[in-house]
Chain A
Amino acid sequence: MVFLLQQTIRYMVPMLIVALAGVFAERSGIINLALEGIMIMGAFICAAIVRVLQESGMFLPGSFGAQLSIIIGFILAAGIGAAFSLLLSYASIKWKADQTITGTALNLIAPAIVLFVANVFFNQNKIQLKIDAASWCIIKMPQGEGFFHDLLAIFFDRTYITTFICVAIFVVLSIILYRTKFGLRLRSCGEHPQAADSVGINVYKMRYIGTTISGALAGIGGYTYALTIDGGSATGAVAGFGFLALAIMIFGNWKPLNIAIVSFVFGLLKCLAAAYASIDINGDGIYLLKELSQNVAFFSSDLYNLLPYLVTLIVLAFTSKKSRAPKAEGIPYDKGQR
């Protein structure tokens, strides 16, 4: 049970942060379909830079050096994600380009650049951090027994420092979105930009800010994904996490608290898909899910992989009438149009 929840949190964190990235873009009125591409860029460039830093010998294997290099990569990822997202916001805000097409183009550009560069410089399709991330970058808790220890272990044993930073960012940005003047203005640009403009809000500027924040968050999400889930390797793919984050955002009705709950559920399913054979739910030494999959072919990892998308589809069918999607999302803002 402890292991299951630990793993779930590990899978949940990138989804959480990338889904919030989607919220920031859409609430400002831009559909950010490029989340996947931005994640790939963030993951790859930061893994490359951290690897070069490691090779230069600046960060010795040790808890402090390791965590420092992670944090440097983290900041870089935010910057690179933000920069890459400018390609989207410039095309869709300045030139009123179709946002879904631009997003799709970015989703194709990112893996192409990543694979091209990786093959030129490293002669392979991926970049691996020099030292095994799963043993090197985690924070460990001393061994212990009892309920209280287990409870702490879920959150603090074998965790990555990125988990705490991401959760903190999530909370802070959610509060900003709902409890500040800036957040209200950003949301108004996604609902009714003409009205927002009429009271003196610069819609173009707010949309640029929303998309840039979104890019920074997606870059962070990609880096977190590469570090924690992919074991410190960055390839030209993030296994559809960007699209999964979109599903979470829709399922969560564009609201941060709902997103947190939904990404926990989806994280659980992703965790089951990846590790159902080695999960012991109630700690009695019987691997229930593994036995189930051996007896009934229906319960395979594909089922757990497929469920999030299927559930989102079904939920969409039932809640489409109540959907609170930002009204102006995807529509380029034209000052002359009132």
Chain B
Amino acid sequence: MSKVKEFFAKIGRWFKSLVVAPSPEVEPKLKTFWNKQGTRNASSSLLAILSGVVIGFVFLLLFAIFSPAITFKSAIEAFRILIGGIFYTGRTDTGALSFGFNPQLFGDMLFRAMPLLMTGLSVAIAFKTGLFNIGASGQYLMGTWATLVVALSMDTTVVNPFFVWLLALLAGMAAGFLWGCIPGLFKAFLNVNEVITCIMTNWISINLVHWFFQADNNKGAAGAQFVNFVDNTKSGFILKTSTNGVVTPTFGMDKLFPGSQVSGGILIAIIVAIVLYIVINRTVFGYELRACGSNRHSAKYAGMNDTRSIILSMGIAGALAAAGASLYFLSGHTEYAWTNNMSLPAEGFNGIPVALLAYNNPIGTIFASMFMAYINIAGEQIRGATAYNKYISDLIVAIIIYLSAFSLLFKDILSGKIFAKKKAQEVAPATAETVAPAITEVEPQQNTEQEAGE
């Protein structure tokens, strides 16, 4: 009996230590947790997401007011589906919305999160080195191109399909690596802003791929053999890799989520994220990348090879984005359509919000990409169920990125700094002396935040 009592007393003490400090030197555990960088970042992201969803709801209501075709009821319904997302299971006989576990949508979410996770990692690792990889779209395209060419051109009756699969994945990553190295080389040797070179390489890559596959106008196009001429109803599509027997192993995921598109790629992507987390935080190479991102010149002064760090960082970023494309198209049931050479694949750009929401933490990227896929699927369900369309989810995501640029503001709100400032101003005229120590308290905290942020 006494052991049980002791156990409960222990739990009680632990809970007490969360809120009440045992001694003046030690602060309550909850406060320590709250002041941790990771908690701050996560709650700041959650605040951005919350604000984005609220603004999205306001948009829905506004359109219910201005459009005669849309009622308030459907605005509320659209919002419920937006929140319910993958748990939406259709309407009941009475026309009410019903929610529950929906294995198909759940699997689809995992499937769509996969390329977003990889492009998100791509943007995140570049950010760690202080580079903004807006070129993930182009790297994604080059990965698509190399993967499809290898997966479709090798004869699987001679070579083992799994070997072809591996080769296609590696070819995609190699293409992405090389393509990502271009902005890296420009940055490292010529100090040209990587944003500009990334934009240029993006548009070059879409035209290169279009050029390679466009067989309708030019029968002599190099990639004509990969075009889907079998299904006559389709134009501008490349054959699925499953036509050549090259498919990512599902690892039983299809049994878990029947009816969905899910493939084993998501597991591979999650493993990559974890490996990357270890590489960035626990290895010398990762430390050099981060040091280079904090201050290139001081990293060089400390004896690190800053050019190598920048080039490798961009190269790895490119390889990751390309791997996302490879896994996406190697799943076997996705087809690449090249008809449009005027717009870039959205997966590349959506890697940016994923990385931003995750504060460039590879583990956080997993959750951020799941969230993006969740809201994307919610948008499509809204299109089916109400008078609205799927672009509401794009809009909400865009608003969330815009808000996440305000991270400084959100962090100030969360740490109570804004309220503290107001209070300080109110108190200031009365007793200047009592405010002074409060200010000295705030300042060192700011410094530590900046250091940790870098």
Contacts and interface: CB of A to CB of B under 8 A. Distances in A.
Interface of A: 31, 33, 87, 91, 95-98, 100-102, 104-109, 111-113, 115-116, 119-121, 237, 239-240, 243-244, 246-247, 250, 293, 297, 300, 302-303, 305-306, 309-310, 312-313, 316-317, 320-321, 323, 325
Contact of B402 (A87, A116, A317): A87
B408 A246 contact: no
Contacts of B59: 116
Specify the main secondary structure of chain B where it touches its partner. Answer: helix
A305 B341 CA distance: 9
Nearest to A323: B192
B67 interface: yes
Interface in B213-267: 214, 217-218, 220-222
B190 A317 contact: yes
A112 B356 CA distance: 19
Nearest to B59: A116
A75 B127 CA distance: 40
A258 B278 CA distance: 49
Given A33-B195, A306-B203, A306-B208, A111 B405 contact: no
Contacts of A87: 402
Interface string B382-418: 0000011101101101110110111111000000000
17 contacts: A100-B132, A101-B356, A108-B397, A119-B391, A239-B343, A243-B203, A297-B221, A300-B214, A302-B207, A302-B210, A305-B207, A306-B208, A309-B201, A309-B204, A317-B186, A320-B191, A323-B192
Interface string B335-350: 0000001111000010
A246 B202 CA distance: 14
A312 B134 contact: no
Nearest to B344: A240
Given A104-B352, A108-B397, A113-B395, A97 B408 contact: yes
A320 B207 CA distance: 25
A87 B67 CA distance: 26
A30 B204 CA distance: 26
Q: Which of A31, A96, A116, A244 has the most CB of B within 10 A?
A: A116
Nearest to B69: A120
B99 interface: no
A223 B317 CA distance: 36
A127 B76 CA distance: 28
A173 to B, nearest CB: 23
Contacts of B220: 297
A317 B186 CA distance: 7
Interface of B: 59, 63, 67, 69-70, 132, 134, 182, 186, 190-193, 195-197, 199-204, 207-208, 210-211, 214, 217-218, 220-222, 341-344, 349, 352-353, 356, 387-389, 391-392, 394-395, 397-399, 401-402, 404-409
A270 to B, nearest CB: 11
Contact of A240 (B132, B203, B409): B203
Nearest to A330: B193
Contact of B409 (A95, A113, A300, A310): A95
Nearest to A329: B193
Contact of A111 (B182, B394, B406, B407): B394
Contacts of B402: 87, 91, 102, 105-106, 109
Nearest to B183: A313
Nearest to B352: A104
Contact of A250 (B196, B356, B404, B407): B196
A91 B186 contact: no
B408 A105 contact: no
B200 A313 contact: yes
Contacts of A310: 200, 204
A97 B395 contact: no
Contacts of A323: 192
A87 B406 CA distance: 12
A23 B110 CA distance: 43
A84 B438 CA distance: 40
Contacts of A33: 195
B197 A316 contact: yes
Given A239-B342, A309-B200, A313-B197, A98 B405 contact: yes
Given A98-B405, A102-B405, A300 B218 contact: yes
A244 B192 CA distance: 17
B422 to A, nearest CB: 17
Nearest to B204: A309
A244 B202 CA distance: 11
Nearest to A298: B211
Nearest to B209: A302
Nearest to B401: A105
